[in-house]
Amino acid sequence: MEGNTQKQLISKLQFKNFEPGEFTDRQNRTYEETISLIEAFPWEQQRDHLKVDLTNPSITLEGPDNDFLKLAVFRGGLNLILFANYYHQAKGKVLIMSKGNNEFWFGPFDNPERFDKKEIGQVTLYENSGRSLTSGFARIEIKFKDARCVNISNLLIERRALLDKLFEYPIKNVSAGFPSIPLSSSTPS
């Protein structure tokens, strides 16, 4: 047989003790290989002592357009969770920020934009503070005095760590069922 023309997707595994963004066994797989991977995943063992969070035991399938489907263990079983919005907005981005320096950089990994904390007009934390499948998601919106705006997903940096770096600025808290990231304001403008 000459060459495999069967369509493949990238799949990768995440276990309950992994950090956000940490995966293993990332590779292209055919449909049949992906089904075998799902069936062989240790769902029951990974559910034991589970703490519901963004890094739940899972298999993530990546599509050709930076979209993905995450099959994850949550309370009571396997759920299909679509994290496309957060993943798309965090993929390929970098945030370089410290508490003691007013300058910070955010944007594409190879060309982040420079910002100045002294130009911040408003910091808003959007999160679901209730008990639900989306309670692990948060985004922080930073609006600058010149009307620029950036949204930083907690897939890129844990929300508390980012808020600690912005401790000098008042934080407005907004409760949101699913705090999605607006496409137009997630990239520095």
Q: Along the 189 residues of the chain, how does pLDDT read in single tens digits?
A: 445 556 788 899 999 888 878 899 999 998 888 888 888 888 878 877 776 666 778 888 887 766 677 777 665 443 344 466 677 778 789 999 999 999 999 999 899 999 999 999 999 998 877 665 566 778 899 999 999 999 998 888 888 899 999 999 989 998 876 666 775 544 454
Question: 91-185 adopts what CATH topology?
Answer: PH-domain like (2.30.29)
**What b/e readout covers 111-125, taking b as 16+ CB neighbours within 10 angstroms?**
ebeebebeebeebbb
How many other CB atoms are found less than 10 A from the CB of residue 90? 21
- Residue 157: per-residue pLDDT: 87
Q: Which pTM does this prediction carry?
A: 0.58
pLDDT score at 77:
41
Residue 76 confidence (pLDDT): 47
Residues 6+ away with beta carbon under 8 Å from 29: 8, 9, 10, 11, 37
Quick one: CA torsion of 55, 166, 178, 77, rounded to 10 degrees? 20
CATH code 2.30.29.30 region(s) in the chain:
91-185
For residues 155 and 54, is the Cβ–Cβ distance under 8 A?
yes
- Strand spans (E) along the chain: 8-14, 24-30, 58-62, 68-74, 77-81, 93-96, 103-108, 113-116, 120-127, 138-144, 149-153, 171-175
